[in-house]
Amino acid sequence: MSRPDPAAHEPGGRRSAEIQSSLAAPVRLVHRHRPSPLRARSLSLSFPPSLHLGGSVSRAAAAAMADLPPYPPIEPSSFDLVIVGTGLPESMLAAAASAAGKSVLHLDPNPFYGSHFASLSPDDLAGFLGPRPPSPDPAAASGGGDLAAARIDVRSLYSDVEISSFAPEKLEQHSRKFNLDLAGPRVLFCADKAIDAILRSGANQYVEFKSIDASLFYDKGGNLVNVPDSRAAIFKDKSLSLVEKNVLMRFFKLVQQHFSGDGESDRIAEEDLASPFVEFLAKMRLPEKIKLVILYAIAMADYDQEDKEACKVVISTKEGIERLALYHSSVGRFANAVGALIYPIYGQGELAQAFCRRAAVKGCIYVLRMPVIALHMDKESGQYRGVRLGSGQDIFSHKLVLDPSFTVPSSIGSLPQMSLMENVQVKAKVARGICILTSSLRPDVSNFLIVYPPKSLYPEQVTSVRVVQIGGNLAVCPSGMNALTPDLDRDFTSFDVCMATRIY
């Protein structure tokens, strides 16, 4: 979604905002035949041979990982950067660091790529969301010499999980045909910086997108109406009055002029830019209905912008019109995309994998099913030195990136740097749901986004609820079924932590 998600957009912290790719057909929105449903496995085969063909015998690895086949030791044992977790931010970092010529080891304890951004079959999904195995015994990671060991814990990023099935046999029958997004609902604007990053990194070679066919809005009357998001859409719209059409289009033009006009008179005044977007919309005398559409279905505001108390993130006019401009530059960016939004074929998990592939091509070494059980710290300075893997091997590196599901208990001596890790706090939570339907909610389209603005579903609703339905043609579910992933409610607070990636 368009939610500000800087970590996901900027690989290696580099800003790619203004750079438009010059590639003629960068995102091929064509259906691609894929021979094997097991993406992760087939992918790993293409990785550099050093991973699998390491010659020397493991030192004491097999003992700790009884349930896993023994791994040959990783060579070399020293890297510029070790990344644990193959979620989208970590994968982008791996691709960026590898492209910059750094030696990178990318690990994931899971047998698949993507961590919390993976797209999984129902069984794998249930397994991933279910209870975690207990952390390995910290004693196993006792350091030696001048190094101290710090235990790494794994925590669940989900506060509550509920799974129910009304037709288990049907699900079982098609189990391997599902690719359900852990991080859904997520769709991308065609002009999103994330797309620019995909293009610039070359990850677009490994992922293809399809158009989200419709963007719908739940109006006051309880109807789902098309979001009048472009000139053509306004023209065709059946629910707006003629006057509303005029007002909305004029507002679009006003914003367009702000960005493209030459004269000072074309620009929106500075004081307006600093004011809350909702106030600017009121100042422009936009009717209530149009205001809701712009705020929640185009600028994708999360919180009720008119409820000063409940609104945790107030969108400024500057931000609002930038989002509007993003929306508009998305429409028509790619030839096959009918609207502003696209979705990767085979699910969101493809994005993380595409960056991993890109990183692998640049020399990054990948090891899946490889937990990290402890950190090695310099006893004197408290500096990070390396990690101990589940296989028992010690790997040394200058930098370490852990995904947010790992925590390091603070009770490790008096090491000053350790306290940094504890700053991560849960700011907000997101309720997510995935529903598998046997028929589409709308008879005419199968891939669409629905926005339920605040207060539209029940009076206490202070955030907007977004639902994405993805049909069989995007290979996330068997044809004839639809995966519905509603982003139910944010009033429990979102976990920004999950997106943040820390570099030590």
* Interface ranges with other proteins (CB under 8 A): 231-232, 234-237, 242-243, 245-247, 249-250
Taking every pair of Cα atoms in the chain, the longest distance, rounded to a whole number of angstroms, is 78
CB of 119 to other proteins, least distance (A): 33
Nearer to other proteins, 237 or 279 (CB): 237
CB of 253 to other proteins, least distance (A): 8
CB of 293 to other proteins, least distance (A): 15
Nearer to other proteins, 216 or 286 (CB): 286
CB of 168 to other proteins, least distance (A): 44
CB of 256 to other proteins, least distance (A): 12
CB of 289 to other proteins, least distance (A): 15
Nearer to other proteins, 15 or 250 (CB): 250
CB of 234 to other proteins, least distance (A): 5
> First and final CA of the chain: distance in angstroms?
28
**Which residues does residue 397 pair with via DSSP β-bridges, in sequence order?**
79
State which amino acid sits at residue 22. S
User: 319 burial class (0-12, 13-18, 19+ CB within 10 angstroms)?
Assistant: middle
Nearer to other proteins, 3 or 231 (CB): 231
- Cα distances from 170 to residues 127, 165, 176, 347, 499, in angstroms, run 19, 10, 12, 21, 34
CB of 191 to other proteins, least distance (A): 19
Nearer to other proteins, 94 or 234 (CB): 234
Q: Are 375 and 58 in contact (CB under 8 A)?
A: no
Distance between CA atoms of residues 265 and 378, nearest Å:
61
Element (H, E) at 218: strand 214-218
DSSP state of 157: S
- Cα distances from 206 to residues 49, 346, 388, in angstroms, run 20, 11, 32
Nearer to other proteins, 32 or 250 (CB): 250
Nearer to other proteins, 29 or 249 (CB): 249
Residue 62 three-state SS:
helix
Distance between CA atoms of residues 434 and 449, nearest Å:
14
Report which of 121, 170, 226, 224 is spatially closest to residue 437, judged by C-alpha positions. Answer: 170
CB of 277 to other proteins, least distance (A): 22
Report which of 115, 61, 59, 52 is spatially closest to residue 83, judged by C-alpha positions. Answer: 115
Nearer to other proteins, 28 or 245 (CB): 245
Q: Are 385 and 378 in contact (CB under 8 A)?
A: yes
Alpha helices, DSSP H, located in 46-107: 61-64, 88-99
Residue 98 three-state SS:
helix
Nearer to other proteins, 45 or 243 (CB): 243
Q: Are 76 and 409 in contact (CB under 8 A)?
A: no
Nearer to other proteins, 207 or 294 (CB): 294
State residue 191 phi and psi, 5-degree precision: -100, 15
CB of 222 to other proteins, least distance (A): 24
